[in-house]
Amino acid sequence: MKVFKFGGASVKDANGIKNVASIIEKYGEKNLVVVVSATGKTTNALEEVIHAYFKNEDAKAKFDIVKNNHHTICKDLFGNENHVVFDKLQNIYAEIDWQLEEDRKESYNYVYDQIVSQGELISSVILSAYLNEVGVANTWLDVRDVMKTDDTYREAIVDWTKTQALMNTVVKPLTKDSIAVTQGFIGCTAENCTTTLGREGSDYTAAIFANMLDAENQTIWKDVPGVMNGDPRVFDDAVFMDEISFNEAVEMTFYGATVIHPKTIKPLQNKNIPLLVKSFINPEGKGTKVGGNDNNLPPIRIVKNSQALITLHTKDFSFVEDDVVATIFNSFSKANLKLNMMQQGAISFEAVVDNIPEKIEKIKADLQDKFDFVIEENLSILTIRHYTNFDLINKHKGDKNAILEQRRPSTYQGLLV
């Protein structure tokens, strides 16, 4: 059993889907699960549909753009507009049309999951149909039939017990000497409501499949040759790493490296299932093995943009002691906003977070009776792991000013403005 995951960039157009099909045909095993993301920028486009829906704007016009993009892909792949794939897509489109005709009674997060999730369903239907068209027999699997979650919309928590039982009874027989094509990112509640696992959650979906099916390995196909010691779009001297350990991968994702989704590693590490990060542009390349050794790692550089610094001052000038800190942590937890950096003073507390305005507003509403707020935006966190000297830190800081710095023997972090 193997698990392949293809992201949106790999299936952004007809040529991309043809390339994915060739990879599956060449490298795929019969016992294979293929997890696919929404095509290209479809998730962003569906988010625009939701925004228009809640603003009483023409959401259907926005959705027509999504439909037309996929119609073009299908015409390029299948030619004949009477192909069965067009009818299958119309059934998916109908789910969104029905939602857009409903009164705006449901919460934003609920509606978000019902609409945005359709992007993965659309792309997987197209890929599955094209594979069958070129002679790569496969079965399309609605992941909602097996991936069971709670009802925390947009950040759903997987019910591992129920999901494992369904993996055993549904997926294992389906993939015996066969290929299953399914969706990343989405799940389903006990009440049959669609949920999502958080942005970029398709990697996590694939890891869950790999864990529960005891896969030999999982491969994530990216537009990069593997894991590098820095984003090549930011660091022109970034180098490829043959292998890294699970622990190093966890640290990298924690600090903001986007090549692997943060939740992906643990399900694989728990069963020692190697993760291969390979290029769909050059599929014959070696790629990076996650789950290997950390021999002679170069300094690893990570830049995390769109950060906000929240400074809390106690209104009564009482000290920020344990009970006060517990109140602050509880508020951040309720808002589901992770602290990327923090620093505590006698009467103040500084927290660096992803700049997500609606979540920050929740925290402010929760704590404003006890604290004065100062918020600074447009900040970046520079993280360097395995740095060997301060010259390297100064080089990457450049002309930016660090307004908050933290150093440990192996890791530097600076909040840059």
Q: Domains of the chain (ranges plus CATH)? A: 2-222 (3.40.1160.10), 300-416 (3.30.2130.10)
Q: Does 29 have pLDDT greater than 80?
A: no
Q: Determine the average pLDDT of the residues in 176-205.
A: 94
pLDDT digits (tens, 9 = 90+) for 79-122: 988 999 999 999 999 999 999 998 877 899 999 999 999 999 99
Most confident of 81-85, 179-183, 224-228: 179-183
pLDDT digits (tens, 9 = 90+) for 129-172: 999 999 999 999 999 999 999 999 999 999 999 999 999 999 99
CA atoms within 13 A on the CB side of 123: 35
Q: Does 406 have pLDDT greater than 80?
A: yes
Predicted local distance difference test score (pLDDT) of residue 273: 98
Round to whole Å and give the CA distance between 28 and 4: 8
Q: Does 30 have pLDDT greater than 90?
A: no
pLDDT digits (tens, 9 = 90+) for 283-295: 999 999 999 999 8
Q: Does 200 have pLDDT greater than 80?
A: no
- Of the candidates 239, 221, 237, the one whose C-alpha atom is nearest the C-alpha of residue 229 is 239
Phi and psi at 359, nearest 5°, equal -75, -40
In this prediction, residue 306 has a pLDDT band, given cuts at 50, 70 and 90, of very high
Question: Which residues neighbour 14 within 8 Å (Cβ) at sequence distance 6 or greater?
Answer: 72, 73, 76, 77
Question: Which residues neighbour 240 within 8 Å (Cβ) at sequence distance 6 or greater?
Answer: 225, 226, 227, 228, 288
Q: Determine the average pLDDT of the residues in 64-81.
A: 96
Contact at 8 Å (CB) between 302 and 383? yes
pTM exceeding 0.85:
yes
Question: Which residues neighbour 80 within 8 Å (Cβ) at sequence distance 6 or greater?
Answer: none
Round to whole Å and give the CA distance between 417 and 379: 5
Predicted local distance difference test score (pLDDT) of residue 264: 93
Predicted local distance difference test score (pLDDT) of residue 177: 87
Contact at 8 Å (CB) between 156 and 180? no
Predicted local distance difference test score (pLDDT) of residue 105: 78
Q: Does 127 have pLDDT greater than 80?
A: yes
Look-up: residue for tokens 């030619």? 79
In this prediction, residue 317 has a pLDDT band, given cuts at 50, 70 and 90, of confident
For residue 289 the two structure tokens come to 């093995």
Predicted local distance difference test score (pLDDT) of residue 42: 97
- Of the candidates 258, 362, 259, 250, the one whose C-alpha atom is nearest the C-alpha of residue 306 is 258
Q: Does 22 have pLDDT greater than 90?
A: yes
Q: What angle do CA 350, 352, 353 make, to 5 degrees?
A: 135
Round to whole Å and give the CA distance between 355 and 380: 10
Q: Does 320 have pLDDT greater than 90?
A: no
Contact at 8 Å (CB) between 318 and 372? no
Q: Does 28 have pLDDT greater than 90?
A: no
Contact at 8 Å (CB) between 302 and 256? yes
Contact at 8 Å (CB) between 382 and 234? no
Round to whole Å and give the CA distance between 304 and 233: 13
Q: Which DSSP category does 242 fall into? A: S
Predicted local distance difference test score (pLDDT) of residue 260: 86
Phi and psi at 99, nearest 5°, equal -65, -40
Round to whole Å and give the CA distance between 367 and 329: 11
